[in-house]
Amino acid sequence: MEKNLDQELKGFSKLTREQRYQKLTELGFLDQLDVDFLRAGAHVAPELAEHFIENVIGFFQMPLGVATNFRIDGQDYVIPMAVEETSIIAAASKTAKWVREFGECRTGVIGDCIIGQIQISRLNNPFQFKQKIEEKRVELLKRCNEIAEGLCRRGGGFKDISVRILDRHDEKKMGVIHLYANPVDAMGANIMNQVCEGLKPQIEKLTGEKVSMCILSNLVDSKLTRAEILIRNIDPVIGHGIEEASYFAQLDPYRAATNNKGVLNGIDPILLATGNDWRAVEAGVHAYAARSGQYTSITKWKMVGRDLVGELEAPIIVGTVGGVTRLHPTAKMSLKILRVESAES
């Protein structure tokens, strides 16, 4: 970005709403049509809602703001946030300014696949079931990608299959097949459910077992988002205080729940503004936080020498195509403000 966004948006919170429109337009985040839409109250015709849900009677509007001062991986961002709670945007902007001035924020992704599950409630022959699925893995993947032909054309597709055998309380065994797919720019729920259902007859014929359920999983530990914040030469009293508060959240689930709610205060409003399924992300984050058997914090802070290092690791699956993301005008505008072209960016 050619302009120094930090300087251009200095004092943004003190501007009037009209001045904010003008500043965001000057910087290319909004155009005149966007401003007219926002001035008019971001009104959306009730007819559009008929494409989203059933028994429509209108829209419930949420305040939309932008958080400033963010520099992530060396790139400046203005972050659209749809949220009703006071101080979330102010706190995000203030923290981003602190990081920008005294440190840096780096992000990355581990893996690229979402997960679908095909469940057999009670297996007649667990060993044979697992063996047959593994023997026909390539053939089954081929069938998955035939069903998901459109996804494959867009550069995604089904990449792997695995089998889990779970112990039941009645001493029987439960079988679970995991399908792994790269959804590219979509969250991928619809295509995953479609493929799981489409593979069901072949699984039953191959194994002689009866499939009980086919469903997407929202615990996507095969595609994790990582973020690291480094604050250089922090006051040791402040740094160790943050480290101790973080340790508290790692040990105590009562504190961890509040810690993670605070983290999601900064995530959910972006998901909502961009038309993403924030409920799916929340479910995945909380499940991931409890993966060890005890609910814990999804963030960790520690002092490294004179520096404070913060880490986040969680399954945060987002899409930039499909559903509300492209149909709702405010969601489209939010993606424009973010200047993202794909889910990976």
Please tell me the pTM assigned to this model. Answer: 0.93
Between 1 and 116, the higher pLDDT residue:
116
Summarised one tens digit per residue, pLDDT across range 86-141 is 999 999 999 999 999 999 999 999 999 999 999 999 999 999 999 999 999 999 99
Among residues 325, 321, 322, 250, the alpha carbon closest in space to that of 289 is found at 250
Dihedral angle at the C-alpha atoms of 136, 224, 314, 73, nearest 10 degrees?
Answer: -170
Could you tell me which of 315, 78, 127, 137 has the C-alpha nearest to residue 220? 315
Choose which CATH entry (3.30.70.420, 3.40.50.2300, 3.40.50.720, 3.40.640.10) describes domain 114-217.
3.30.70.420
Residue 322: what pLDDT? 74
Residue with the larger pLDDT of the pair 243 and 342: 243
Give the residue extent of every domain in the chain.
45-110+224-338, 114-217
Alpha carbon distance 120, 214 (integer Å): 9
3-state secondary structure of 195: helix
State pLDDT tens for residues 178-231: 999 999 988 899 999 999 999 999 999 999 999 999 999 999 999 999 999 999
Question: How does pLDDT run across 303-327, given as a tens digit for each residue?
Answer: 999 999 999 999 999 998 877 877 8
Contact 81, 273 (CB under 8 A): yes
CATH for the stretch 45-110+224-338: 3.90.770.10
Q: Is 24 helix (H, G, I), strand (E, B) or coil?
A: helix
Q: How far apart are CA 103 and CA 303, in angstroms?
A: 14
